Amino acid sequence: MRYNRVILYLLLAGAALAMLSPILLMLSTSLKTMDEIRNGSLFDLPHAPSFAAWGKAWVGRCTAGECDGMGGYFANSIAIVLPSLFLSIAVGSITGYALSLRQVRYADFLFAAILIGLFIPPQVTLYPMIILVRTLGLFGTTGGVILAHVVWGLAFTTLMFRNFFRSVPADLIKAVRVDGAGFWSSYWYIMLPMSLPVFAVAVILQFTYTWNDFLFGLTFAARDSQPVTVALNNLVGSQFGEQEYNVNMAATMLTALPTVLVYLCSGRLFVRGIAAGAVKG
Amino acid sequence: MRGVHLNRVRKSYGSVTIIDQLDLAIEEGEFLVLLGPSGCGKSTLLNAIAGLEPLSGGSISIQGRDVTALEPDQRDIAMVFQSYALYPTLSVRRNIGFALKMRGTAKADIERKVGEVADLLQITHLLDRKPGQLSGGQQQRVAIGRALVREPSVFLFDEPLSNLDAKLRADMRIELKKLHERLGRTIIYVTHDQIEAMTMATRIVVMNQGRIQQCDRPEVVYGRPANRFVASFVGAPTMNFVEGRFGRAGDHLAVLTAEGVIPLPGLDVALGQAGQPVTLGFRPEHVALAEAEDVTTVTATPLMSEPTGPDMYVLMRFDPARTGVGVGPELTIRVPADAAIARHQPVPLRLDGRRISLFDPQTGQRMN
Amino acid sequence: MRGVHLNRVRKSYGSVTIIDQLDLAIEEGEFLVLLGPSGCGKSTLLNAIAGLEPLSGGSISIQGRDVTALEPDQRDIAMVFQSYALYPTLSVRRNIGFALKMRGTAKADIERKVGEVADLLQITHLLDRKPGQLSGGQQQRVAIGRALVREPSVFLFDEPLSNLDAKLRADMRIELKKLHERLGRTIIYVTHDQIEAMTMATRIVVMNQGRIQQCDRPEVVYGRPANRFVASFVGAPTMNFVEGRFGRAGDHLAVLTAEGVIPLPGLDVALGQAGQPVTLGFRPEHVALAEAEDVTTVTATPLMSEPTGPDMYVLMRFDPARTGVGVGPELTIRVPADAAIARHQPVPLRLDGRRISLFDPQTGQRMN
Amino acid sequence: QTAEVLHWWTSGGESAALATIRAAYTAKGGVWQDTPIAGGGNARAAAVNRMIGGKPPTVFQYSVGLQLLELADQGLLNDIDDVAQVGNWDKALPPLIANISKYKGKYIAAPVNIHGENWMFYNFDALKKAGVEVPKTWADFLAAAPKLKAAGIIPLALGGEPWQERILFNSVLLGVGGREHYAKVYGKLDKAAMGTDTMLDVFKTVAALRPLVDESSPGRKWNETAGMVMKGTAAFQFMGDWAKGEMVAAKLEPGKDIGCALAPAKDTAYIMTVDAFAFSNVKDAPSKGAQTLMATVMMDPATQAAFSKRKGSIPSRLDVPDIGFDSCAKVAINTLKDPATHLVSTGLFGVPSAVSGAIDDAISQFWNNKAMTPEQGRDLFVKAIDRAK
Amino acid sequence: MALPTAVSAYVALIPATTITLVCFYAFIAWTFVISLTRSRLLPRYEFVGFLQYERLFDTARWWQAMQNLAIHGVLFTVGCIVVGYFLAILIDRGVKAEGVFRTIFMLPLSMSFIVTGIIWQWLLNPSFGLQAAVRGLGFEEFAFNWLVRPDRAIFTLAIAGIWQQVGLCMALCLAGLRGVDPNIWKAARVDGIPVWRVYANIITPMLRPVFFTLVVLLSSLVMKAFDLVVALTGGGPGFASDLPARFVVDHILNRQELGLGAAGAFMMLCTVAAVVAPYIYYELSKARRAG
Ligand SMILES: Nc1ncnc2c1ncn2[C@@H]1O[C@H](COP(=O)(O)OP(=O)(O)OP(=O)(O)O)[C@@H](O)[C@H]1O
Ligand SMILES: Nc1ncnc2c1ncn2[C@@H]1O[C@H](COP(=O)(O)OP(=O)(O)OP(=O)(O)O)[C@@H](O)[C@H]1O
Ligand SMILES: [Mg+2]
Ligand SMILES: [Mg+2]
């Protein structure tokens, strides 16, 4: 019994270390100087930890003698992510609710059809998407990016919410009908509040996907409203120029900071939400 | 044509017909209990009345209005579910007021009505809690409050008490009954617990396999079951059955079995032809221990006794040969808790012929 | 020292002590029922006996062996759960045989034993189904089969019937009892349903808040409850209680209440000093309708009657003034199903003084 | 005269170079909106996508070649032939580059510089330590390799990405096959030339190079690889002249602290790759004016000189004097005086990009599959090009 | 059924249906049409029949990518679920500081695939990553050079992918484990069933719906895997670790082989239709049959 506990904690600690060490390595690298990186080992601790690289990353890439700072890009990202999140989760949860209803015919069929969307690499259909967005007059605007996120987030959010609403007791749905609440009012007053735990999960995951997106931001956003991942790419993605790994790492971590914070703060919500039925088949 | 009228109601899922050609007239103010074994179609019927399941055929009218094509909320009904089906995220207050809000009732009116209902059900102090913070009985009351507040002309209950423990169930039973008396509205109540049915109903509908077996006052359903199904379904412990043929024992009609004669003193002698097969049914409490054997008694051996507190049920076996083990069919009788009954000591029993039931073994229909 | 012995058993979660210093000796072959309200610690105690929860103090021995430190599977016990806890993904056959397989029993032996158990429980035809394809009663039987097959010396049951409907519950009750008689093994059975306790137990342990309130044969627990808690917990409808003072009515001891005198004919007169406060308790069936009023009767007004089939329970109110509405405390009495009782028509009642209980209002302990 | 300029020059050196163009442009009264997108592939895709989406950048960096012609063919580009005529580009530019910058006889791109791909960088100390001379032929190189190895030095620093492998391969192709052979193979995609024994020798040489790299080679970035030469853990790297930027960043002077030479070859030649800008089909006068001004500025000899000095390349105009360039660049400028030395890279122009991709695939496959014989490699190469044509 | 509720439900489905029809299926159709043309950089509707497919099937790199897809798909999906499930089990054994472990395991989820690729490229790089570090400790013979071995590079993709997504699997499995009736555990203890057997024979089959969701989510990631390959191996060495998504994107965006890329994309979707769709359908209809 005692041995088992010891082994259990050893395993957990090992796993935690394995999961954490890559991130710690990034952190330590971002605190080194370039010379240290060129000459030392990846696993050495920084001799004199310095946030110089972080400062440089925050200033952003200077191109053609112009520096534009990451701050603005963060704002752009937020301007993209928040409405995208709101819309794609709204659409996903409403769709999920409708598909969970037993009186909706072909619901399973439509659900399967939507699930296929989960498997389409968005790059593959980029051209028609551009044409569509252009036709809607949204190309080169934040609206275009948001639309793309809503489209490509649909399958995922629908999956989450449909599974949750399926687990709502049938009696509850009946009670709602007897009380005279139609689809929308039942959604708004009853189902939406009930699905809050799943919302948390959907928001967290969708936030991660949206925040980390590079392709849509690059393709559909206006020049001055591009998300922070584009700025990050400009910092780290240069192919033929010289590389500053410490800055790269700092910038990478800086960019990932919001999502990391979200996970740090909401791990409990996440598990509870999943337990609430977000992903029960 | 007030009350609820079901007219040749049919309900099938795909090729499986659950309810077929069911007619039922429920008068206004009745407390009608639908009683039947699990899966017999009670909930299906209730859902059909509520409009939650579209009919496959037939029609339903409520208070003289044909509601067959109407949505549940337009049928002037309210429903209480077994699982309560309270809205978990709304406070009790909003749970109760939700239906009114959906109808666009003014805020102040909602507030007032919810208050009244809460008073009536004594849940005023719970109004601001969430359902999750309530005990089972309290949840049940809120569910009833949600139905009450709409002042419907018909209340539908689907096994509302089956999730409660025995004690609470007994209390709620009385409360529901008082409520019915106070409001005077029609109640249709589904249960598979026959105690509930017996104690509350003005009429009981016993269903089996989607068909009505009997529809009558509780005493009648209990005392004069229309067929063997009803007889065996209603009553706990269940009615005793003995297969045999009509015969005689002295002046009395009797049932002859392979093992011996069971006299039925008090029964109308003209009932059956001698030799005709018959199923005799009698309830545990309609058998008495006789002081001594005579032509009106039958001997049985006690096998096991179940004291329930006030009474004792004794499982026995007919034993005309007094072997102490018994050879005949088993039967259960009810005796006072302090009755002196010794295991394997045969005792004489006397059936109360006026209270027994006789069934046609072929059709199962009642004969007397 | 065969059987199960609990010695100063203590169980706490953190700082909350659920069970404190509990002693209990269960003899071999007993059918001991732990009865008590929800949350009183019945399951906790059972789990402690099974070894599923480590004790916080004290010791447990089973068949003379100290098992306090042993794992559940080494304690020679088997357990049946309220939720059945069948392994949902295994067939019935494998559910029953799994424990044997784990002990390395030979394939053929497992097959044989499973077959025997299945025969005994009449579930042979279900052996290849999954639990999800069984009805509640069938699942229950499988769960029992799973316990039986291991031939343990002690069976532990945790509310095994509470998920079943009333009828099935009654049947299973008898089956369990027969099983107990056939096997002769010790059974410890948790329930909060007192009918189960009454009918099956050789002894009942009534628990409340982790303490044993009474431990005795069912008739004693029912007829002579040790304290007010036991009195009110055991029996449905519950015992009637009236607060008052000792007094006299004619030759008899009586209880004087604000509303009048309740004579207790047949009770030992020497019991209490006049004027001393007392709580009178009497069961519904220990009150009889009197033909006429006299010094041994008390008047009450019927408010509502609940026919249960064989009997009728009548809710009344003491009403010495014969107002037809009643002013005193409520009481429930049991009368025959066909008794002529009219609502709001006061009737004289006579209590059976030999069967009533008297409690000290302060301590709640039985006085007679 | 506002011009949005989309480009992929985001690193320090590149960006500093671009700043010279920007300065010249703003000095002439233009307004410069900078849209950097790191990574050539990303930037090109973004430019095309924005043209399809109807909101193109005014000026965008692009590789000259068939892709650009296809864009022109779709009417997505403005020509800048007026500027070219005035600037006399036909004379100033190497003919190969001039041709590829035109669609239907009109200039559609402004090539701002020339990078050379067949450079060889080496570490003086490493060579000295192993007692090795700078190789003149690939045979020399192969002979020197064991000595380097013996001295604990990695003979060949290579980043194992397909394009880096291709640069090495093309250097060998040129070095072993000679410039005429190279021109036949890549210029004309001549199947016969690809099947010759010369080609087999090329593959044999490449195969002989396989064991000369360290095990970490696959997937390594070119600049990390350059770092190996700078540190002296490796002796040679075959890389374009942009590698000088990394050296400058590490405060080493190319030609002085780090050796640079054209890769070993039978005859002198220069594999050119070009950075160019194209002009989207904007219609409004201010934007068109901006495009004209931008083209003029980009092709101005002074701007080109300033630009290339920072970029590590040489001007696309051959009429710019080599004053102030580093010694490596001087070599390049002087080499290109002879038109016979002009060769095209297969990377971004010269061959259709499908072919270029197929070439990369074939080379990479051959390089990484150690079991593949030179014959098989040659067949694969021929087949790949044939299929992609 | 002409109930108002149902009508509103259909109305509510309009956006999703539109998106599905237009952005999923019309786009797929468009991709198919393009795959029948000679398009290079931009769509051009010069039809050439199935020429692009012939070229595609004649391309070694494509087959390598498809083979890698199968390998990666199995390794990543199975690996993720197995490791995630294992971690969930560890956490579910009633450990202290559960929240800390859970958060740590889920932290990588917050990273993008690009970042994941970058980190692991460093870690797995033989000359300054793990291998170098272990050798630095004195184990000169230690070799962990999968990143640069053509026959092993595809495994590194799975390693990095698992590292990133295992938190999700852990969370889902944990939720599933928490949903198991605690009495099952008690019953198993009374029956004397060893813990591992309970997991193997009883709990695991019960978590089937969770695994279903995971398989769907993870295999969708496999299909779309692009960023991770680009950042981690660049498809190399050679194209030993190439995946169809990268193949397609590379041909469409970098190689002006729109037609060929479209053919590849369409083949990918056919693979989905052939492998994943039946599975989804099976599970859905099973769930429906179960009520
Ligand atoms: N949606 C459905 N599709 C097919 N069959 C159904 C459906 N709903 C119910 N049934 C079947 O109809 C029959 C009657 O079900 P119903 O729920 O009305 O029974 P019940 O009398 O309420 O039983 P219980 O006492 O268990 O609640 C059952 O056999 C059930 O299997
Ligand atoms: N793991 C635990 N931690 C803290 N308290 C607990 C735990 N398990 C049970 N309890 C508390 O112990 C008390 C007794 O619980 P137990 O389950 O034994 O009651 P019970 O008599 O079986 O009730 P029921 O009839 O509802 O099953 C309850 O108040 C319960 O809240
Ligand atoms: Mg039902
Ligand atoms: Mg319990």
CATH code of the domain covering residue C254: 2.40.50.140
The rounded distance, in Å, linking the Cα atoms of E13 and B333 is 63
Touching subunits of E (3+ CB pairs, under 8 Å) are A, B, C, D
Q: Answer yes or no: do C170 and C304 share one domain.
A: no
Judgement on whether residues C248 and C209 belong to the same structural domain of the protein: no
Measured distance CA(D155)–CA(D233) in Å, rounded: 9
How many domains would you assign to chain B? 2
Q: At residue D314, does pLDDT exceed 50?
A: yes
In a domain, E15, yes or no: no
Looking at the fold, whether B228 and B244 belong to one and the same domain comes out as: no
Q: Cβ separation of D35 and A140 shorter than 8 Å?
A: no
In chain D, what percentage of residues exceed pLDDT 90? Answer: 11
- 3-class DSSP state of D64: coil
Span E94-121, pLDDT tens digits: 888 888 888 888 888 888 888 888 888 8
Domain-embedded: residue B139: yes
Whether ligand 1 lies within 6 angstroms of the CB of B210 is answered as: no
The answer to whether the Cβ–Cβ distance between B73 and A177 falls below 8 Å is yes
Q: Are C209 and C284 in the same domain?
A: no
**DSSP code at position E36:** T
CATH number at residue B210: 3.40.50.300
The whole-angstrom distance between D245's CA and the closest CA on chain A is: 7
The angle at the Cα of B76, spanning B74 to B80, to the nearest 5 degrees, equals 105
Q: Give the separation between CA E217 and CA E209, rounded to whole angstroms.
A: 12
- Interchain contact B236–C (C-beta under 8 A): yes
- The shortest CB-CB distance from C310 to any of B233, B283, B315 is to B283
> What single DSSP character describes residue B74?
G
Residue B351: burial class (beta carbons within 10 Å; 0-12, 13-18, 19+): buried
**B52–A196: do the CB atoms touch at under 8 Å?**
no
C354 to chain B, any CB pair closer than 8 A? The answer is no
Residue C185 pLDDT > 80: yes
Residues in the ligand 2 pocket, defined by CB under 6 Å: C 13, 18, 36, 38-44, 192
Is there a domain that residue B368 lies in? no
Q: Same domain, yes or no, for B268 and B226?
A: no
pLDDT of residue C84 exceeding 80: yes
Alpha-carbon span B264 to E108, nearest angstrom: 83
**In sequence order, what are the residues at sequence separation of 6 or more whose Cβ sits closer than 8 angstroms to the Cβ of residue E286?**
none
Sequence-distant (≥ 6) Cβ neighbours of residue D278 within 8 angstroms: D59, D60, D61, D62, D68, D71, D77, D108, D109, D110
Phi, psi of D277 (to 5 degrees): -120, 145
Angle between helices D353-368 and D197-209 (to 10 degrees): 60
For position D226, what pLDDT does the model report? 86
Tell me, what's the pLDDT at A241? Answer: 61
Per the structure block, which two tokens stand in for B72? Answer: 């549940």
Closest residue of chain B to E1, computed from CA coordinates: B54
Considering the domain architecture, whether residues C40 and C80 belong to the same structural domain is answered as yes
What is the structure's pLDDT at E98?
A: 82
CB proximity D36 to E under 8 Å: no
pLDDT, mean over chain B: 88
Question: Token pair for residue D289?
Answer: 């004016």
**Segment among A44-58, D81-95, D313-327, E100-114 with least mean pLDDT:** A44-58
User: Is the domain of C166 the same as that of C312?
Assistant: no
Structure confidence at residue B217 (pLDDT): 93
Give the amino acid at E216.
Answer: V
Min mean pLDDT across C17-21, D150-154, D224-228, D350-354 is at D350-354
CB A84 within 8 A of CB A150: yes
Query: Taking residues A120-139, what's their average pLDDT?
Result: 87
pLDDT at A63 over 70: no
The total domain count for chain E is 1
pLDDT at E291: 42
- Which residue in the set E24, E115, E276 is minimally distant from A252, CB to CB? E115
What confidence category does residue D169 fall into, taking pLDDT thresholds of 50, 70 and 90? very high
Per CATH, domain A71-275 is 1.10.3720.10:
yes
Is residue E1 within 8 angstroms of chain B, CB to CB?
yes
pLDDT value at A254 more than 90 = no
CATH classification of the domain holding E213: 1.10.3720.10
Low pLDDT (below 70) residues in chain B: 1, 269
**What is the SS3 assignment for C266?**
coil
Considering the domain architecture, whether residues C206 and C345 belong to the same structural domain is answered as: no
Contact criterion met (CB < 8 Å) for E23 and A117: yes
- Structural domain containing residue E81: 61-290
Residue appearing with tokens 């409360």: B175
Last residue of a domain, one of B233, B266, B282: B233
Residue type at position E118: I
| pLDDT tens for each residue of D97-115 | 888 888 888 999 999 989 8
Q: If 0-12 CB within 10 Å is exposed, 13-18 middle and 19+ buried, where does residue E86 land?
A: middle
Domain boundaries, chain A: 2-50, 71-275
Kindly state whether residues B113 and B24 are assigned to the same domain: yes
Tell me which ligand sits closest to the C-alpha of residue C40.
Answer: 2
- Between A231 and C115, the more confident residue is C115
pLDDT above 70 (res A277): no
Q: Are residues B200 and B247 in the same domain?
A: no
Say if ligand 1 is within 6 A of residue B257 CB. Answer: no
pLDDT mean across residues, chain E:
84
Among B233, B248, B274, identify where a domain stops.
B233
Chain E positions in Cβ-Cβ contact with residue A123 (cut-off 8 Å): 226, 245, 248-249, 252-253
**Confidence tier at A280 by pLDDT (50, 70, 90):** very low
Report the alpha-carbon distance of residue E275 to residue E268 in Å, rounded.
10
| Residue E32 counted as domain residue | no
Handedness of CA C226, C230, C231, C235 (dihedral sign): negative
For D60, phi then psi, to 5°, come to -145, 145
Q: Which of A2, A6, A19 best probes binding to E when mutated, by most E CB atoms within 10 angstroms?
A: A19
Q: Does residue C274 share a domain with residue C324? A: yes
For chain D, the average pLDDT equals 87
CB pairs under 8 A between A and E: 270
- pLDDT tens digit sequence for C86-131: 888 889 999 999 888 888 889 999 999 999 889 888 888 889 988 8
The b/e string for A182-211 (b: 16+ C-beta within 10 A; e otherwise) is bbebbbebbbbebbebbbbbbbbbbbbbbb
pLDDT at B295: 85
Residue-level pLDDT at D349: 67
- Considering the domain architecture, whether residues C206 and C179 belong to the same structural domain is answered as yes
> Is the CB–ligand 1 distance for residue B283 below 6 Å?
no
Task: Tell me the residue type at E110.
Answer: S
pTM above 0.80, yes or no: yes
Question: Which ligand is located closest to the Cα atom of residue C41?
Answer: 2
Domain range enclosing C154: 3-233
Residue D142 pLDDT more than 60? yes
E124 found inside a domain: yes
- Residue C234 · residue C213 · CB < 8 Å: no
Task: Work out the minimum CA distance from E125 to partner chain A, whole angstroms.
Answer: 10
